[in-house]
Structure 1
Amino acid sequence: MLACGFGLAAMPAVADDETVKPAGVVELFTSQGCSSCPPADAALKKLIDDGKVVALSYHVDYWNYLGWADTLASKDNTARQYAYAKMLGRSGVYTPQAVLNGRDHINGADLDGINSRLSAMNSTGKGLDVPVEASVRKDEIDIKIGAGSGKANVVVVYFNREQLVDVKKGENSGKRISYWHSVRDIQTIGMWDGKPADFVLPASVLNEGDNGGCAVLLQKMKDSETPGAILGATTVMADNTAN
């Protein structure tokens, strides 16, 4: 079942031994072909500008039949949304959907609701409690995961900082829309068992130029294919701006 209609500025500098904990992770599932999505895309941009959350935009492909094939969509993005639907006990998916901390969902255009639910999660032990850091050093990305409890996957989500799209057909025909932190690939790079762990990636994965970035998500799994709660997260940009 489908339904249509239903981010990040630099954080303050801190000392080396201090980590700024994001207020949460917002994963927006959106489509260039959905007339209800532009307000959610704008809300995600506000979250990115605010700089307090890890904000990601996953373009899905199931609205392409409406007359405009989303230029940023991928089957992997759609599969991630369906996997979340399974985890949430839902029979279908919709856009714009925002998944919060891998635990709950809300209409992606409801900015006040997103902030309110993230605040409630932080006060009830469902926030990002495991420190996660990432930084670019020469030709490498150094990732550091702190201590905690349980087991989780270390997931790297690669995205483009900004892309401007002229939508020429479909429900949003004639609109020029700026999309931020649009996901282009997802990769699990390792496992975490509750102990501090370090990982290294080549900096080239961020893409050439200054438009690339990635988020590091420490995410539990319900099973081998079903994502669960996110325990920690951060982002790093091609220009080495971490959040």
Structure 2
Amino acid sequence: MVSPGPLRLAAFALVLSAFAGTALAAEPETSKGDKPQSEKTAVDRPLGVVELFTSQGCSSCPPADEFFAELAGKDNIIALAYHVNYWDYLGWQDTLSTKENTERQYDYMRAFNSRSVYTPQAVINGRNHVNGASRKEVDGALARLDRTGEGMRVGIKVSRTSDRVMIDAGDAGNGPSDAHVVIVYFDPPQTISIGQGENSGRSLTYWNAVSDIQTAGMWHGKAQRYELPMTEIAKRGGCAVLLQSVGKDGMPGPILGAAFIRKPEPL
């Protein structure tokens, strides 16, 4: 499916304070938010990032949403679902869509020199796009990018104390030197009963539906630390950290590193 026309670009809010960090003594790791702060997971570089652009009003999207639920359950994949709003005119307003999600897809369209957007679209590592309902295409793209060195090249370590989350982006060595630190908030899983439109009468469960996108600051190829108040995480379903390069025209580029920040469990 193809959207009716382009939208304006997103303006992301700056929410984190960043300060230069010392070089990391060990390879960065990603900490699970539901573990004590002294514990870390063994996964510091996920296989890749899958950004699914989907809509409750798109008849082609349910198979992609079901496959995406599997991806969201994998520890080694950062899976994010962006619900878009350009299919709302078909009779059902997507309850999880935002203008910013739609704008991000249009930004990718320009970055890929494409002529249109479509759903379901899966953008892999910010580098290419495939049919989001095709397991073969998504899995193939992840494996190919990992094999060619276009996967997660920069480790990200996430740790926490009682009142803050620390995000340590690693050193790129001889690799890329500039990227944005992007924080992507998402909702917990939820089941939606769709009353009208192409999927009328269906109840579908959606995972990791993106609710907000914010840029934290810049990373310049060297180890650096960023901080986020724990209160921001506690009131959300969770969030992901993306280290994403940006072109001179402001369009999103390859994602160099990524990690999840999990919502702490209540005491």
**Shared fold by TM > 0.5?**
yes
Report the AA paired with residue 114 of structure 2.
R
The correspondence of residues 1-243 of structure 1 with structure 2, limited to 5 A, is 2=2, 19-148=43-172, 149=175, 150-208=177-235, 212-239=237-264
List structure 1 runs of 4+ shifted beyond 3 angstroms. 13-19
Tell me if structure 2 keeps the 8 A contact 1:207–1:238.
Answer: yes
Provide the C-alpha distance between the structure 2 equivalents of 1:181 and 1:239, rounded to a whole number of angstroms: 16
- TM-superposed deviation, 1:123: 1.0
- TM-superposed deviation, 1:48: 1.5
Query: Runs of 5+ in structure 1 lacking a partner?
Result: 5-9
- Structure with the bigger percentage of strand: 1
Task: Give the structure-1-normalised TM-score.
Answer: 0.89
- TM-superposed deviation, 1:207: 4.4
For residues 11-35 of structure 1, the C-alpha deviation after alignment (integer angstroms, 9 at most, x for no partner) is: xx99759653100000000000001
Percent identical among aligned pairs is 45
- TM-superposed deviation, 1:135: 3.2
Report the AA paired with residue 75 of structure 1.
K
Aligned length: 232
Tell me if structure 1 keeps the 8 A contact 2:186–2:238.
Answer: yes
- TM-superposed deviation, 1:206: 2.2
Tell me if structure 1 keeps the 8 A contact 2:122–2:131.
Answer: yes
- TM-superposed deviation, 1:105: 0.3
Provide the C-alpha distance between the structure 2 equivalents of 1:175 and 1:239, rounded to a whole number of angstroms: 32
Tell me if structure 2 keeps the 8 A contact 1:136–1:236.
Answer: no
Q: Could you say what secondary structure the match of 2:110 adopts?
A: helix
Provide the C-alpha distance between the structure 2 equivalents of 1:95 and 1:231, rounded to a whole number of angstroms: 25
- TM-superposed deviation, 1:117: 1.1
Tell me if structure 1 keeps the 8 A contact 2:44–2:156.
Answer: no
Residues 116/185 of structure 1: CA separation in 2 closer, same or farther (3 Å cut) = same
For residues 33-56 of structure 1, the C-alpha deviation after alignment (integer angstroms, 9 at most, x for no partner) is: 001101111111111123220000
Q: Could you say what secondary structure the match of 2:189 adopts?
A: strand
- TM-superposed deviation, 1:125: 1.4
Task: Give the structure-2-normalised TM-score.
Answer: 0.82
Query: Runs of 5+ in structure 2 lacking a partner?
Result: 5-31
Provide the C-alpha distance between the structure 1 equivalents of 2:78 and 2:241, rounded to a whole number of angstroms: 9
Larger Rg: 2
Q: Could you say what secondary structure the match of 1:181 adopts?
A: coil
Report the AA paired with residue 191 of structure 1.
M
Supply the RMSD in Å over aligned alpha carbons.
Answer: 2.2
- TM-superposed deviation, 1:239: 2.5
Q: Could you say what secondary structure the match of 1:2 adopts?
A: coil
For residues 206-241 of structure 1, the C-alpha deviation after alignment (integer angstroms, 9 at most, x for no partner) is: 243xx610000000001353100000000111137x
Residues 176/136 of structure 1: CA separation in 2 closer, same or farther (3 Å cut) = farther
Residues 80/17 of structure 1: CA separation in 2 closer, same or farther (3 Å cut) = closer
Tell me if structure 1 keeps the 8 A contact 2:238–2:263.
Answer: yes
